[in-house]
Amino acid sequence: MITGWRAIGDTDTQEYLNNPNNSLIVDFNTLANIEPAILKIYNMPVGTDLEFRYDNTGRYFIDTKTGKRIL
């Protein structure tokens, strides 16, 4: 399944992202193996804007519109 998602790292600069050689298409399972927290956002509606965070409570996503943590 193609989701159309883009996973961007916190150290990825715009210059880095502008280079198509720095992009890679992977399936959802590959991304979930890299970061299992993504399983909680699989069914989010189209257009959802999320921010990935991690702290002493774990790794999680925040809905940027509401500021709420995705559980």
Residue at 24 is within a domain? yes
**Confidence class of residue 44 from pLDDT cuts 50, 70 and 90?**
confident
Q: Which of 20, 12, 16, 7 is nearest to 52 (CA)?
A: 7
Residue at 5 is within a domain? no
Residue 5: its pLDDT value, please?
77
Distance of CA 18 to the CA centre of its chain: 18
Domain that holds residue 42: 14-63
Q: pLDDT (tens digit, 9 = 90+) per residue, 14-42? A: 999 999 999 888 888 988 998 899 999 88
Residue 17: its pLDDT value, please?
93
Give the total number of structural domains in the chain.
1
Residue at 2 is within a domain? no
Residue 6: its pLDDT value, please?
79
Q: What is the pTM of this model?
A: 0.69
Residue at 21 is within a domain? yes
Q: pLDDT (tens digit, 9 = 90+) per residue, 55-64? A: 999 999 999 9
Residue at 7 is within a domain? no
Residue at 42 is within a domain? yes
Q: How far apart are CA 63 and CA 6, in angstroms?
A: 15
